[in-house]
Chain A
Amino acid sequence: MENKQGLYLGMAILLLLAASALLAPLLAPHDPTRQNLDQDLLTFSNAHLMGTDKLGRDILSRTLYGGRISLLVGFTTVAISLSIGLAIGSLSGFFGGWVDQLLMRLVDILMAFPGILLAIAFTAVLGPGLDHVIFALCLIGWTGYARLVRGEILSLREQEFIQAARALGCQPIRVIVLHLLPNLLPPLLIQATFGMAAAIIGEGSLSFLGLGVEPPTPSWGAMLNEGRQFLLVAPHLTTYPGLAIMITVLGLNLLGDGLQDRLESRGR
């Protein structure tokens, strides 16, 4: 697929998902938490386009509302992780020396834990819940941004315009905010796109393990976990939330790839 097309397709997918999540109260045909035990595990019908789950709850409504949780976790995790990563990476790259050594060793320690393992461990001890999920994902999420910002600053700080600003007596904070930050934004934006995909998969993984948002709040990961017990009799229970996660992550990956190509072609 042409990268430009991919970029636009990614943007379209995400806009559509964001709109459906925001308008969930208007679009959802039923209350996503309302149980109807007489109508459990139904497949397609006019009343329930995607069928119902083991408690007779409408899957379409739950999938629409589930998007709210995924996007909320994605945006919040990226916003917090990016802010922390930006602050720590800037300090580390700009000041260097023992500050850099200390902060980068902290990054190394957190990166010593593979993937989502640390998030699983933290939510396991803190207990399930949306705020715990976001905290755990931020705990592992900021390190990537800090590394990226530090690396960019290390290469930028030797450039003439930064040297000139420092020679003119600009305060470090002014140099970082006014001169370095605008140059950091494009790579950070790309990283944020992939970071959001990782956060959405992370939330899904935690909810799948029963460590995410608490029932009856609909979440795609939790819906997959509930549906797993009925694979033999009602495979549709896992199909729709799974598709929703895949399409969201696909949209973010397409957007990230497209942005990266644009940035690289500008740099050439």
Chain B
Amino acid sequence: MKRYLLQRLLLLLPTLLGALTLVFFLIHLIPGDPVEVMLGETASAADKEELRQSLGLNQPLVAQYRSFLTGLMSGDLGRSLSEQTGVADLIRARMPATLELTICAMLVAILLSFTLAMLAARNKGSWIDRLALLFSLLGLSLPNFWLGPLLMIIFSIQLGWLPVSGRGGLDHLFLPSLTLGLAMAAILTRILRISLLRVIREDYVQTARAKGLSEKQVWLKHALRNALLSVITILSLQFGSLLAGAVITETIFSWPGIGRLTVQAIQMRDYPLVQGCVLVIATSYLLVNFLTDIFYHLVDPRITYGK
């Protein structure tokens, strides 16, 4: 286990450093003078110079990179231009809302897909199976930037059942979670259905049946349990899509999370804040993938990091 952990860490660190370097260069890619782009052409020379100094843009590139990395080590993500406060503080304040939304979206996806995939696999070839496949096809084809407004029109405007936007109780959470989690539910349904159909043909499942276990026990204890490994892979891979999707979903539903903060930062040309948000999202994604690998190894010790 120790050796495996070390190997994965050695792989994670250069990737993380590479991702941080790419984020560092974001501000340097701004065409023309970044300071002028951020403050506007009408800003005074003194203001421009002050910003140039605070961003460290007057230093050589290597020195800027070094201080960027040193800052990160101490949790300093720079200073927001629009809010006049630390980027890390702003992100920390918005993090709970994004976590709440992503976890709920994941739960919606798991609940929908497990129910549909189990029903579809148990009734292969029936109308339920076809319905599950149609759901998975439509779920993958519906972009969340249309699904969100569509759900809003139906459930908030026409029926008046749920609030239009904002963060509050469970009723506020329902539409954003469904919008964010539907594509993931579609993928999970497809994968889980195939896994269940594969596992159910295995010898040990037949043995369980021969031992006299009820169908419910066979499906829940043997089939579903063994089909879960493929589900964990998809869940971890899709976590990144959820974080990226949160940028759009939070914008549609005015959800006060990191996604909306990113879009607000883009609109206000607050590039240090954009940089900080992208950095936090990418790092979270990398760490989740790392933890999933470790979890895999714990669940199935046969999995190693091989060539």
Contacts and interface: CB of A to CB of B under 8 A. Distances in A.
The answer on A and B forming one complex is yes
Contacts of A201: 143
22 contacts: A108-B11, A109-B15, A113-B281, A114-B244, A114-B282, A115-B244, A116-B244, A118-B22, A125-B29, A125-B30, A127-B31, A204-B145, A208-B145, A208-B248, A209-B266, A231-B152, A238-B153, A242-B149, A245-B146, A246-B146, A249-B141, A257-B137
Contacts of A116: 244, 247
Given A1-B133, A201-B143, A224-B145, A126 B278 contact: no
A209 B248 CA distance: 8
A80 B187 CA distance: 27
B251 A105 contact: no
Interface residues of B, number: 50
Contacts of B11: 108
Contacts of A117: 243-244, 247, 278, 281-282
Interface in A235-249: 235, 238-239, 241-242, 245-247, 249
Contacts of A249: 140-141, 143
Nearest to A201: B143
A221 B244 contact: no
Interface string A35-55: 000000000000000000000
Contacts of A245: 143, 146
Contacts of A205: 143, 145, 248
Interface of B: 11, 14-16, 18-19, 22-23, 26-27, 29-31, 130, 133-134, 137-138, 140-143, 145-146, 149-150, 152-153, 157, 239-241, 243-245, 247-248, 251-252, 262-263, 266-267, 271, 274, 278, 281-282, 285-286
Contacts of A85: none
B141 to A, nearest CB: 4
Contacts of B281: 113-114, 117
Given A126-B31, A227-B149, A250 B137 contact: yes
A3 to B, nearest CB: 10
A232 interface: yes
Interface string A169-192: 000000000000000000000000
A247 B142 CA distance: 9
Interface in A202-239: 204-205, 208-211, 221, 224-225, 227-228, 231-232, 235, 238-239
Nearest to B288: A114
A254 B278 contact: no
A253 B137 contact: yes
Query: Helix, strand, loop or mixed for chain B's interface?
Result: helix
A235 to B, nearest CB: 5
A73 B92 CA distance: 36
Contact of B247 (A112, A120, A242, A257): A120
Given A109-B15, A125-B271, A238 B240 contact: no
B26 A121 contact: yes
A112 B274 contact: no
A228 B149 contact: yes
Contacts of B26: 121-122, 125
Closest 6 CB pairs of A and B: A114-B240, A242-B146, A115-B244, A109-B18, A250-B141, A112-B19
Contact of B18 (A105, A115, A247, A254): A105
Contact of A235 (B31, B153, B271, B278): B153
Given A125-B29, A125-B274, A238 B266 contact: no
B248 A238 contact: no
Contacts of B16: 112
Interface string A93-136: 00000000000011011101111111011101111000000000
Contacts of B146: 224, 238, 241-242, 245-246
Given A116-B244, A120-B266, 17 more contacts: A110-B22, A112-B286, A113-B240, A113-B285, A114-B244, A116-B247, A117-B247, A121-B23, A122-B26, A127-B31, A225-B145, A231-B152, A246-B142, A246-B143, A250-B137, A253-B140, A257-B137
B150 A238 contact: yes
Contacts of B19: 109, 112-113
Contacts of B243: 114-115, 117
Contact of A209 (B31, B141, B239, B263): B263
A112 B143 contact: no
A114 B262 CA distance: 14
A159 B171 CA distance: 58
A124 B157 contact: no
Given A105-B15, A113-B282, A113-B285, A246 B141 contact: yes
A111 to B, nearest CB: 8
